[in-house]
Amino acid sequence: MDDSQPTLDRAPDDSGYAMGDDAPFQAPVSAEAVRESAREASATAAFAVAQAGRGGRFRHILPSRSGKLINGLVIVGLITLFGIFGPMIAQPPRDSDNDALLPPSAEHWLGTTKLGYDVFSQLAWGTRGSLFIGLVAGVVALVLAIVFGVFAGYFGGVADEVLTLFTNIVLVIPGLPVVMVIAAYVQTAEGLGPLARSSLLVALVLGITGWAGSAVVLRAQARSLRTREYVAAARVAGERPARIIFVEILPNLVPLLAAQFIFGVIFAVLGEAGLSYLGLGPTGSITLGTMLNDAQTGQAVGTGAWWWFVPPGLIIAALGAGLSLINFAIDEVVNPKLRLAPENAKRQRQAAKAGKGVADTGAFA
């Protein structure tokens, strides 16, 4: 972009309104025209800046680089790296040659369990197991939320009523009790083969029970996007409904989809921990929840073996906090008012300190 030629893109007829042999329709607008041409030039300059900076399709919907986002990404990133690479460096998690209930030492960084398992190794495998369940359940919940939420919001009418009715039914059924019943049922059911009591099955159960809240949010947003003129324009251009949903609407919902996905992951990680703690988790694999369950049955608290139950608890808490921080950052993009809220509150406090009535300044407006 050459800024010295900002008027390159001006249409030649803009200044003169020449219309061939017809009489030109003249209007006293030259000053305005100059201003508009300046505006177009600045749009061109803005384009150059945008190209020089971080470009790409998602630029206008990326969260700003806030402290929340960075903290969240660092926490979740570290835990993810631990889940990926930890199991590679740790000793086998079911290696029971060690002495039982050793406190943390140079040899066993986080001590050992009652059965002589290395806690650090268990933690690495458990983190991997929990992340796997969280991701699978998050994806399942997101797909269901899109089907029930976005489709209902876009199509409206009877389809909307049927889909929304079902969503509401799922929504009002209390979550964890149903998960417990389903988990208890499918895990003892015959004929599931290797799927029975696997972490994949737990992930599916959590995904299938955790999508309804997201569907409600997505439906509301899809309903509002549906009335946008660019959706009408796509219909006039001849686009098919599926393409309108996936190409015209969903990309504009990416921040919201990301937020709902993260919400689904949090729900699944915590749900798995709850289920496993109650003894309804996967038995074949190790998760943070099964670790807590083992610690509970092994009376870790009573024997003072804090190194057994504190680390998995901390990782669950940190994962939940990190994901929530990312979600807050995304929320600020979706809903810019939130970003201004702390500043407004600060301004109000200052105004109050200065002895001015907050109501008088209209800061709440």
Note the residues at the interface with other proteins (CB under 8 A): 1, 8-9, 11-14, 17-20, 22, 25, 27, 29, 32-33, 35-36, 39-40, 43, 46-47, 50, 57, 60-61, 228-230, 232-239, 248, 251-252
> Least distance to other proteins from the beta carbon of 73, Å?
23
The DSSP string of 46-60 is HHHHHHHSS-STTGG
Q: What are phi and psi of 84, to 5 degrees?
A: -80, -50
Q: Which is nearer to other proteins, 248 or 272 (CB)?
A: 248
Q: Which is nearer to other proteins, 19 or 340 (CB)?
A: 19
Q: Which is nearer to other proteins, 52 or 365 (CB)?
A: 52
Distance CA 73, CA 53 (A): 22
Closest CA to 289 of 126, 176, 136: 126
Q: How far is CA 70 from CA 131, 138, 222, in A?
A: 20, 22, 29
> Which residue bears the tokens 């994901």?
323
Distance CA 301, CA 303 (A): 6
Distance CA 362, CA 365 (A): 5
> Least distance to other proteins from the beta carbon of 229, Å?
4
Q: Which is nearer to other proteins, 157 or 194 (CB)?
A: 157
> Least distance to other proteins from the beta carbon of 233, Å?
5
> Least distance to other proteins from the beta carbon of 333, Å?
13
Q: Which is nearer to other proteins, 26 or 191 (CB)?
A: 26
Q: Which is nearer to other proteins, 24 or 103 (CB)?
A: 24
Contacts of 283 by beta carbon, 8 Å cutoff, 6+ apart = 197, 290
> Least distance to other proteins from the beta carbon of 18, Å?
8
> Least distance to other proteins from the beta carbon of 157, Å?
13
Q: Which is nearer to other proteins, 9 or 107 (CB)?
A: 9
> Least distance to other proteins from the beta carbon of 255, Å?
12
> Least distance to other proteins from the beta carbon of 240, Å?
9
Q: Which is nearer to other proteins, 50 or 78 (CB)?
A: 50
Distance CA 140, CA 127 (A): 20
Q: How far is CA 74 from CA 18, 67, 79, 211, in A?
A: 60, 11, 9, 27
> Least distance to other proteins from the beta carbon of 155, Å?
15
Distance CA 317, CA 269 (A): 10
Where would I find the H helices in the chain? 13-16, 30-52, 67-89, 119-145, 151-155, 157-172, 175-188, 199-209, 212-226, 229-237, 241-243, 254-277, 288-297, 300-303, 306-334, 336-353, 358-361
Q: Which is nearer to other proteins, 24 or 304 (CB)?
A: 24
142, 211 Cβ separation under 8 angstroms: yes
